[in-house]
Amino acid sequence: MTTPRRLIDELNDLHAEYVDQVNRAIAEDDEVLAYRLAEDYDTEAVQLVAEREGKTHLLPLRRRTWDTPLRRLAKRSRDVA
C-alpha cells in the first residue's frame, strides 16, 4: 500500500512546475504568458487545497488579486522589458 502524498509536497511540485514555465515565458519575452501562468498557478493551488481539505463547496473563491512570488516574477520581467 502506498502512502498518499502530503499536500505540501504536491504544492511544492506544482509551484516548481509553474516557476519553470514562468521563467521560460520570461526568457522568450512573453510577458502576457508569464502573467497568465502566475494567475493559473493561484487558481490551481487553491483548487488542490480545496479538494484535499474537502472544501470544494467554497469554490470559486471571490478574491482580490494577490501579490504572489510568481506574479512578482512576471511583473519584474514586464518592468525590465
pLDDT band at 77 (very low <50, low <70, confident <90, very high): confident
- Grid cell in block for residue 37: 501562468
| CA 68 – CA 61 distance, rounded (Å) | 16
Helix axes 69-80, 31-53, angle to 10 degrees: 180
- One-letter amino acid at 73 equals L
Give residue limits of the domains in the chain: 7-80
For residue 35, which of 12, 1, 80, 68 has the smallest C-alpha distance? 68
Q: Report the pLDDT value the prediction gives residue 41, as an integer from 0 to 100.
A: 95
Burial of 26 (0-12, 13-18, 19+ CB in 10 A): buried
Over residues 29-74, the pLDDT tens digits come to 998 999 899 999 999 999 999 999 999 988 887 766 667 787 788 7
Choice between 69 and 81, residue whose per-residue pLDDT is larger: 69
Residue 8 pLDDT > 80: yes
